[in-house]
Amino acid sequence: MHQLLKNGLFSIRFSLSLIFILIFSSAYAESENRSIALLLSKNTKHYSQFAEKLSQHNGSQNNAPFSIFYPDDLSQSLKNNSKYLDQFSGLVVAGDIAADSLSNVSTNIPIIFTLLPDHRVQHYINTNPNCQIKGRCSGVFLNQPLKRLLQITNKAFPSINTLAIFVESGDKKTIHTLESLNNQFKFNILLKLINEGDNIVSTTHDIGHHADVLLAIANKNIYNRKTAKGILLSAYNNNIPIIGYSRSFVKAGALFSIFSSTTQIAEHVSDLTTQLYKGSGTLPAPEYPKYFSIQINRAVKQSLEGKLVFDSSITKYSKSKRYE
């Protein structure tokens, strides 16, 4: 009897130990599944650079690789297994094509949209069925917040009276935001509403009589390959410096640009994926890029000397983990 009791106790202890090992192993395996899927719109230099930078920052912070896909690859994987994405801890979606490819895909994992302007990220979050649960989806916008642009402009030009900004007449959100910010700075904001078919180069020439500086806000219907050169030339001829929104803009002739590089966007996205690696399944609301650069065109700066007070020390307001 004593031996049977002893054997019974041993069996119970062994069973409990086995159960504990199985539970621990399962939890460990689950915590080790730290891979995040990265869905890129195209296999181009721009997206490849983003993937490379994101992998670098992710590796330095979390020591975990990304699984990279393109829309066609993901579509094929989902045909074989409709729950394919659920094996990942999260999904980073870069660009419109990638975001559009998710419209009919069902998944339970957190999603981060990026390399898109604010209105496009909001569109995908509002329309994607996977994003209806609060905290399930987030994003890092490509464009800068308007208040940041105005704050840096205010520091760059301490003595200007009027700042001109071109805005599409149908962009009610931007118009409302700029109107609400108008009284917070020394200068007056002159909004020039652009309609389809307007001659933007001619409009640039006209503002030379009313404004000191032109702030360009990213909008492909206003600033594009057809109009950019004419706008820059017209502004230059009328001694109106332009504040751009990209590195290429400042190289083309803007006095300076405020922008977030691919590396800086990747840094910000990496901060969000770190939360997922740490086990947080809830993401914050979509965010404007917290890392950004201010780059000055020295030749344009020299051409304006004696015509306009410009504080070139604004570059110190750049914010990045690693300024480029």
* Domains of the chain listed by start with CATH number: 33-142+264-277 (3.40.50.2300), 146-259+292-317 (3.40.50.2300)
**pLDDT tens figures, 25-58:** 333 334 345 588 999 999 999 999 999 999 887 7
Cα 173 from Cα 23, distance rounded (Å):
52
**pLDDT score for 274:** 86
Cα 113 from Cα 87, distance rounded (Å):
19
Cα 145 from Cα 177, distance rounded (Å):
10
Q: What is the pLDDT of the chain when averaged over all its residues?
A: 86
**pLDDT score for 91:** 95
Residue 10 pLDDT level (bands cut at 50, 70, 90): very low
166-175, 275-284, 298-307, 314-323, range with the lowest pLDDT: 314-323
**pLDDT tens figures, 260-269:** 999 999 999 9
Specify the residue for token string 């801890």. Answer: 89
Query: What order of strands is seen across the sheet that includes strand 66-69?
Result: 66-69, 36-40, 91-94, 111-116, 137-141
| High-pLDDT (> 90) share of the chain, % | 72
7-16, 89-98, 223-232, 267-276, range with the lowest pLDDT: 7-16
**pLDDT score for 6:** 46
Q: What is the pTM of this model?
A: 0.85
How confident is the model over 278-293, as a mean pLDDT? 89
Nearest to 75 by CA among 88, 64, 84, 67: 84
Question: Does 24 score more than 60 pLDDT?
Answer: no
How confident is the model over 146-167, as a mean pLDDT? 96
DSSP H or E segment with residue 270: helix 262-277
Q: Within 13 Å, how many C-alpha atoms sit on residue 80's CB side?
A: 7
Residue 88 pLDDT level (bands cut at 50, 70, 90): very high
**pLDDT tens figures, 188-224:** 999 999 999 999 999 999 998 899 999 999 999 999 9
